[in-house]
Copies of this chain bind each other. A is one copy, B any other.
Amino acid sequence: MAIRLDHTDPDFEGRFRALLGAKREVSEDVDAVVRGILADVRTRGDAAVLDYTARFDRLPLTADRLRVSEADFAAADELVDDRTRAALVLARDRIQSHHARQKPADDRYVDALGVELGSRWTAIEAVGLYVPGGTASYPSSVLMNAVPAKVAGVDRVVMVVPAPDGLINPLVLVAARLAGVDELYRIGGAQAIAALAFGTETIRPVYKIVGPGNAYVAAAKRQVFGTVGIDMIAGPSEVLVIADGANDPDWLAADLLAQAEHDVAAQSILMTDDPALADAVEKAVERQLKTLPRGETAAASWRDYGAIITVPSLDAAVPLSDRIAPEHLEIATADPERLVEKVRNAGAIFVGRTTPEVIGDYVGGSNHVLPTARSARFSSGLSVLDFMKRTSILKTGPEQLRALGPAAIALAEAEGLAAHGRSVAIRLNL
């Protein structure tokens, strides 16, 4: 049973703050263990990776079996039915065409003084993609991470996925192939992050590592940050549904449970101006939970982190939503665009009653890797920009140097940097 809050309650602010502050993740302290694994892989390379893989994934390998082969891909392909493959292809194509629009334009111009300035975008040469094993091994996540990298123009997209007891979800291999992944290794955990960051005899290093993982993977990414780039550290999934009274409670209940089934630490919140709808959704959630295969997970998430908040008006929902900064925001109201315009902090907005968030998980075309844990206040979902970097370009001819030089010299002097001043003055015969 989720908590119920009403915006007009005298203790609302305190309870809403408690909801915002609730820690949904217990971060295990695995830093020391991870530090040891990273150092070992850095020193011993393949041999260390093979040792950890034998130990943690119960998978004895030799170096030449680290990489997934053409035969492995072909075998996986046999196991995937046509309907699923077609759905993956549709998703891939839609992600590709949407992300192609995100490619940034170079800029080069001459300003009024004659100074030439520019920004040039280039793709990162090599990117690593971590894909978890087991039940969280989602083919859709492979597409969401790898397709934007290839759209950006990354030369080498190197994927790692652990194969506990030798098993890899065949859909993950098929998705990797569809997305254009260039190399795939059957390794996971901190040892895989180390191999990607430092390289081994078999695996050439990459320059940036993206993708979700468990506490060990997250700690390893934090520790190699600097040696390589990393994406954000993803937390449990969240949805906030802002709804008026005219909704079908069963639709909204299904949306809330679609988040809740991900993880016991997922969070689903409903905000509505209609207390009757709030009651009806609450009942619908309880009803639907009974027939859900992952009902236990969803029930725990809904019980521990779910919330139903009644507000005096739909407009009053927006500032609360901005404080939550939800990963996913559904706006199921008669005039959703009016609210969309007012929202400042959200990873993704799903507009109107017939846009369930799940469409965005798979086939909408937009990215499903989105900022969690209120980080939409300061960060964005994954995009082509995450796989590119910008070089700035500056060019001053003798005339421009004469115009700007004296001010540069003045500031260099003010900062006590004489050689800075000299490097300009010497060119001006000063």
Contacts and interface: CB of A to CB of B under 8 A. Distances in A.
A260 interface: yes
Q: Which of A254, A358, A383, A390 has the most CB of B within 10 A?
A: A358
Interface string A352-376: 1111111111111111001101011
Contact of A378 (B124, B349, B364, B393): B124
A333 to B, nearest CB: 13
Given A87-B410, A391-B349, A420 B358 contact: yes
Given A208-B378, A257-B419, A424-B358, A349 B411 contact: no
Contacts of A293: 416, 418
A393 B298 CA distance: 26
A420 B261 contact: yes
Interface in A386-430: 389-398, 400-401, 404-408, 410-424, 426-427
Contacts of A415: 138-140, 171
Interface residues of A, number: 120
A86 interface: yes
A422 B255 CA distance: 8
Interface in A100-118: 101-102, 107, 109, 111, 115-117
B416 A355 contact: no
A258 interface: yes
A233 interface: yes
Nearest to A381: B392
A359 B229 contact: no
Interface in A286-314: 288, 292-294, 298
A-B complex: 8 closest residue pairs judged by Cβ atoms: A229-B378, A87-B407, A351-B395, A254-B423, A380-B390, A87-B410, A257-B419, A207-B378
